[in-house]
Structures are given as structure tokens and as C-alpha cells.
Amino acid sequence: MDIPAASPPRGPSPFASVTEAVEGAAALDGPASALGAAARAGLSPAPLKPLLRGDWLGHAVHPVLSDVVVGTLLSATLLDVLGGDDDRRARHRLIAAGLAAATPTALTGLSDWAEEEASDDGVRRAGVVHAISNSTALVLYAGSMATGRRSGVALRLAGAMALGAGAYLGGHLSFVKGVGVDAGQITS
């Protein structure tokens, strides 16, 4: 199946000014460049790089894994809103699954980002903020498992907001900046 050459235009993002500010934050360059260099050195050797890139799948593996993390963590938050988990066991299982999936998800994203960050200031900076947002969400969700009911709900809601910010930037990196996209796979 051929993919259309162009999609219909979308309206401007309500978060465009925030994204522009992140991409313009030169203070992120030093840490981002160091992280990118370390990632390229540590994640590039074969057979690790093709595995992380998703060569075996035929496309980037990071989006597939990120759906697991986002889906399980937000499902735990939905139980807070909808109820039905009085003993919190389901919530904790969902959070544990999201936390377990986070490491391979982060490694695949880091690998994709490291290929692009050196050549694009916006990618370098947005990628670091994406990682910080997602890491913050993981800490908040993990912490929610060790607290009381009300504190746990507050931590999960804060985690959901951080996760949303990270997901937005991840979508920007993929769909606007093309990180992890193999143009050779797209046909018109």
C-alpha cells in the first residue's frame, strides 16, 4: 500500500511557542551533546544498533514500545478517575509493567535521537526535554506506589501531565523532525 505524498494541512499547534522555546534553549546544548556522544559510542556497535533501530521489525521500534509505557501508566491513572480498583493491585501492576517497559523504550529512543541530534539543534534540545519529562513521569508513578491513597493519586496525576508533555515532544520529534523515520520506507 502506498502512502500519500502529503497529508492535508493541520492547524498550528497550541503548543508551538513552547516547542519553539525548547528548541531555542541553547543552555541544553552541552548536556545534550555529551549524552549524544555517549549514546553513539555505547549504542552503535552491531548487533545492538540494528536491534535498537528496529531493522528486524522493518520500522522504528521506539513508537511501539512507547505505546506500552504510556498505555499502562495512563491506565493506572484512569483507575483513579473511574474507580474499580479499591485494593490498588491493578494500578500497581499497570505501573510496574510501564516501569519495566521504560528501559528498552528509552534505549530505542536514545538510539534514534543520537543519530539526529548532532545535526539539528532543535532535535538535540527537544530530545533532552522529552527524556526529562518522561523520566519525571516515571519517578512520579513509581513514587505513587509507595504512598498513601490520596498522595498516590496526586503523584499519578502529576505523572500523567509530565507523560503528556513528553509524549507531545516525542510526537514532534518523530512527525515534525523525522527522528526515527526511515524515508526509504515511505513510497508515494
Cell numbers placing 186: 515511505
Q: Over the stretch 48-66, which tens digit does the pLDDT of each residue have?
A: 999 999 999 998 999 999 9
- The residue among 124, 139, 138 whose CA lies nearest residue 169 is 124
Q: What is the pTM of this model?
A: 0.89
Q: Are 157 and 151 in contact (CB under 8 A)?
A: no
Torsion of CA 80, 82, 83, 88, to 10 degrees: -40
Residue 186: per-residue pLDDT: 46
Which one is predicted more confidently, 182 or 136? 136
Domain boundary assignment for the chain: 29-177
Cis upstream peptide for 47 (omega within 30°): yes
Q: Over the stretch 129-171, which tens digit does the pLDDT of each residue have?
A: 999 999 999 999 999 999 988 899 999 999 999 999 999 999 9
Share of the chain above pLDDT 70, in %: 93
Q: Report the alpha-carbon distance of residue 80 to residue 88 in Å, rounded.
A: 9
3 state DSSP class of 54: coil
- The residue among 89, 105, 66 whose CA lies nearest residue 152 is 89
184 pLDDT exceeds 70? no
Mean pLDDT to the nearest integer, 76-80 = 95
The per-residue pLDDT of the chain, averaged, comes to 91
Question: In angstroms, how far apart are the furthest CA atoms of the chain?
Answer: 54
69 — phi, psi (to 5°)? -60, -55
Q: How confident is the model at residue 180 (pLDDT cuts 50, 70, 90)?
A: confident
Residue 185: per-residue pLDDT: 53
Given 3-state DSSP classes, what are the helix, strand and coil percentages for the chain, each rounded to the nearest 5?
Answer: 75, 0, 25
How many residues would you count in the chain?
188
105 pLDDT exceeds 90? yes
